Structure formats: C-alpha cells, structure tokens
Amino acid sequence: MVAATGPAAAAPQDPSAVAALAADKADALVASRPAILHAGANETFQQQKVIQSSGLNYVPYKRTYKGLPVEGGDFVVVTDAAGQTKATSVAQSAPVGELSTVAKIADSAAAATAKAQLKTVTSTEATKLVVLAEEGKAATLAWQTTVAGTNAEGPSRLTVDVDATSGKVLRTTERVIDVTGTGTGWINGSVSIDTTQSGSSYLLQDPSHTTIRCQNASGNTTFSGPDNVWGNGSGTDRETGCVDAFYVAQKQYAMLSSWLGRNGQNGSGGAWPIRVGLNDQNAYYDGTQVQIGKNTAGQWIASADVVGHELGHGIDDTTPGGISRSGTQEFVADTIGAATEWFINNPNDAPDYQVGEEVNLVGSGPIRYMYNPSLAGDSNCYSSSTPGSEVHAAAGPGNHWFYLMAEGTNPTNGQPTSTRCSGSGAITGLGIQNAMKIMYNAMLMKTSTSSYLKYRTWTLTAAKNLFPNSCTEFNTVKAAWDAVSVPAQSGDPTCTGGGTTPPPTTTPPPSGSCTGTNATDVTIPDAGSAISSSIAISNCARAASATSTIAVNIVHTYRGDLRVDLVAPDGTVYNLKATSSSDSADNVNTTYTKNLSSEQANGTWQLRVQDVYSQDTGYINTWTLTV
C-alpha cells in the first residue's frame, strides 16, 4: 500500500469526466510500471470499470501473463477528483517470474479432477488455462474449472484450480456463500413494494431494476398475481417470505445509493433473483442467485439482516478482488446486513447488531452477536488461528471491530456495551453510516488476497481518504482494530491532519498499570491437575472494577473439558467457565466480565485451568486482565 501526496489541481465536477480523468491518470501510473506492481516483461494489464464513492475513484486492474489470466495479479489504483493517486492496493507480493505456458495434462483430465471434488455434479463450466499467483507462493500454470452440484454439506458451486503439470489440486474456491404494491410479510409486517405490471397481472419484480425479483424456488418462477396484493402474513407461506425478501432487497438498493453512492447490489443497477423454498436451515448466495431457506419451525428466513447479508455477499463478489478470503467473507456480509437493517428501521424488526434474531433459525435466538460474538460461541478477538477457522466462527473479530467502530464501547443510544480484547480506554463510535462508508470504501481497495490484516490497512486508508481534515475517524478505526487484537501492519498509513491523536490503545506493561498480559504458553495436562498463569498488578491503588475483564485465549481440541477460574491475590476464586461434556468445539477465545469490586487491584492474579476429561490437549496461549 502506497500513498502519493502533492498539490491538488482543479477537478472537473461531472462524474463521467472525473471517472475518465481517473482512468487516464491510473493508466499513466501503470504504464510507468512502479515497483509496487511487481510487473515483469511478459505481463499486461487490463483496466476495469472505474468505481466512484464519496469523491474518490477506484480503478481496478486485472493482469495477464503471456496472454493468460493471472489469478492473484489484480490491483486497484485510488485517485481523488483531480486524478491524483491516493493509494494503491496490490494482490501480488513478488513477480511471476519465468513460467512455461504449455500444459502437460489435458483440460479434460483437469475437469474430471474438478468434478471429483463434489459429491454430485449437475453442471460443468468451461475449463481454462490460468496462472495461479497466490501471495507467498510460486506462480503455477493451472487449469481452472467451475463445477456445480452438492458437497457433503449441501449445494455447491466450486472453482477448482488444478496444476497443469502434475494434475494436483492447488486451490478450491466455494462460490456458495451462506446465510408499489402492498404486501404482508411475517417479519416486516404490512409494507409497500414497487412491482411490475404485465397486462392484467403483476409480478414481484422491480419495474426499474428487473434483475431484482423474488421467485418460488420450485421452478424458479417469479411470483405473480391479479391484484398487486401479496402474502398472507404466515411465515410458512412462500409468497409471504418473498414479500419480506423483496422488500429488503429494494430497501437495500436505496441504502446503497443514499449512503454509499453505489448503483445497485451488482454495481450496474441490478442484483440477482431471490428464490424462496430452500429445504434447509440456511440461506446462500452463489454468484447467480440468492436462496432463502427456513427455520426449524418451517418459516422462511427473509429478515433484513439475513437477506441483506446474502445480497452483501454479492456486493462483496462484485467489488474489486471478488469474495473476501481468509475468514473475512462472513463478517463483511454481516456489516452490510446490519447497515441494511439500520437503514430500513422497521419497527417490526428494530435495528440492532444481532444477526438473525427475528428468524430464530434453530430455536435458540440470534445466529451471531456483533457486539459480543462469544455469546454465540465465536471469538471476540483475532488470533493467528482466525483465518483457518470455520468461516462463520471467523467472523467474530471482524463483527466485534465493526461494532466498536460504529457504536463504541459504551453506546448512548440503547445498544449494549462492548468490551475490548486488549488495550484500555473507551472508544466512541462513528455511527453506522460512517462505519459502513469506511467499510465499503475499503472493499473498493480489495484484492483477491484479502485478509484481516489487509482489511486493517484498507479501512485505515479509507478513513484517512474519506475524512482528510480530521483524524477522529482514522483514530477510531485504529482503536477498534487494536481492541480486537488485529496487529498493526507495515502498510498502515498514519494520520496527522486535523483532530488530535488519542492515547495509545496497545496494552501497557503490567508494571504501574491496572491492566496486564501474560503471553507465556502454559501446557494443560490431559485429565490432570490444574495449572496457572500469573499477572502481577502494581501501582493501581484502588479497588478492582465491578466490570473487570479477563480476555482468555486457550488453544484446546475440546473446550468442554476445561474449567477456567480467576484466582484473586487473596485466594478468592471466580469461575469463568464450567466444564461441559457436550461442548466439542475447539479453543476458548473469550472476554469475561466479572465484578471484582470487593478485591484490591494490586497483587498477583492467576488464571487457573484444569482439563477434567481425557484424550484432548491444549495450552494457555495468552490472557489479559483489566481490573
């Protein structure tokens, strides 16, 4: 990530002229082949459509090597209205180098290998030669095939990259991503929707944006009727489910235009058909459609945050770099779903930062809690294991970050408080509209090698560019990332213009502080005696807080085996986690809040852990105490 500075010239005001200027200036930069592009003599670059947002222009590029597409060779040039380069974002970290473009195995053999990755196959898309240039790995000639069908978990649309020399599967990318007429939805109640008249009949299809439509998943037929009155209010009725979904899609379209300046979910004035009738406790987007399933009570799960989330995957897919990777895709979609719910502000589904609270998917309430992901068993805090976690569980730190950026640690609008994983001090939120604007503009810098670490850099860059005369927004974004333990990166920008820089948000050393961290690993014996890790608090001459926090990161292959206690300096034991024979998930990565006001803060505190069952092992990775 690089930023360029210099005097700004007078900029044309017509958006098309601004976009043309941005395109020309970006092409001139690319033609000079700056080192940041890692460009070789055999590479060419293809400019994509300029995307405009909040006075900035995002110019995406794709790369070819000897005429073959380079998967991982994409980049984005960001300019202001005058065409001045503000930043670049590049997927590659090293040149492709010299590579043969002659395949040693046939495309048909590669396609057969791709089909073998699914349980059943219903269709196979074209097989093509590409250069796979994943970050940190040597570039490889590969056959790329997309196959549709089912895997062990359900519907699948899978892109498979097969080594064109050895026939080995190099990478797989799953494309199925989970979760004015009048109508009555079971969630949103009586609503107004814009429908299409066709002769004497009406369709659940937007008259201005015809790709926004709602269909019965049995036959993929758009719902129609003679009277422009839709649904009966029953959650088990498919047309009623479509009223909810269609209403959300149209409202999200308005949010994208009003808040972000985006032209529809796909960026070109449209979206994808929404189909109600999936026989599963799920919803998904696969690049061609959104499928809406049902809860365990048979009700269609077309709430604002669920439909907004699935369409959010499509927005992610149609911004530079495609679907976000490395455990970030679900939190990205959750932020869009939350923004959609807040924009709609329907009293029947009051805006909040819970995911799926209205649909009650399996009868146990919300699917995820953005302000405290641990309430659903997900981690509040980022660690090196987050990118490899199950994608929905991996959303925890990102959702927590977004909440802290939007609402802060102690909101004044009725939303719940939220604790930090690391560091100290309150965070004041920017409001969801500004938070979503920063998130979206970071997505416009996205490349095919997205990650938590890169989203930190992109969002900081977006905040700096969007609010050039203030550091308040930048500092809030930074404080929120620090608070969920996403570490600083060498590419992070700094902010010196306007506002004041808040005190550092990193954890201070234990000496002379009311907070401390112990990051020394301590092995937990299998079905053995309790072990402990200590933190000494000194020069904190007061009682401990009634809202003291204990951020615990324990690596373990069956967390139900573990009892976790906090032991105060006077020996008093505070239980943080009990054992559970039914909790088979990995790891304990949670921030606990305890009333420790009866204790003096100074002294040596212990985190005590015991594994009470056999066959699973682990260790205390790190823990932070704030008293």
Which residues belong to the active site? Answer: 310, 392
> Are the beta carbons of 306 and 368 closer than 8 angstroms?
no
- Which tokens belong to 570? 């006077």
Question: Distance from first CA to last CA of the chain, Å, rounded?
Answer: 38
Quick one: the chain helix, strand, coil %, rounded to 5? 25, 30, 50
3-state secondary structure of 272: coil
- Which tokens belong to 621? 């990775």
Q: How far apart are CA 339 and CA 360, in angstroms?
A: 20
3-state secondary structure of 159: strand
Pairing of strands 290-292, 274-276: parallel
> Are the beta carbons of 431 and 465 closer than 8 angstroms?
no
Q: How far apart are CA 515 and CA 423, in angstroms?
A: 8
> Are the beta carbons of 531 and 525 closer than 8 angstroms?
yes
Q: How far apart are CA 76 and CA 48, in angstroms?
A: 10
C-alpha pair distances (Å), 545 with each of 135, 458, 626: 45, 36, 8
Residues paired with residue 128 on neighbouring β-strands, in sequence order: 144
Q: Which residues of 66-105 are buried (b: 16+ CB within 10 A; e: fewer)?
A: eebbbbbbbbbbbbbbbbbbbbbbbbbeeebeebeeebeb
Residues 6+ apart with CB under 8 A from 17: none
Residues 6+ apart with CB under 8 A from 379: 373, 386, 389, 393, 396, 397, 587, 589, 590
Q: How far apart are CA 423 and CA 435, in angstroms?
A: 21
Residues 6+ apart with CB under 8 A from 108: 127
Pairing of strands 618-626, 522-524: antiparallel
> Are the beta carbons of 283 and 225 closer than 8 angstroms?
no
C-alpha pair distances (Å), 21 with each of 46, 80, 86, 563: 17, 10, 14, 62
**Given CA atoms 303, 309, 315, 318 in this order, what sign does their dihedral have?**
negative
Residues paired with residue 169 on neighbouring β-strands, in sequence order: 162
Phi, psi (5° rounding) for residue 316?
-60, -45
Residues 6+ apart with CB under 8 A from 273: 211, 213, 214, 215, 220, 222, 289, 290
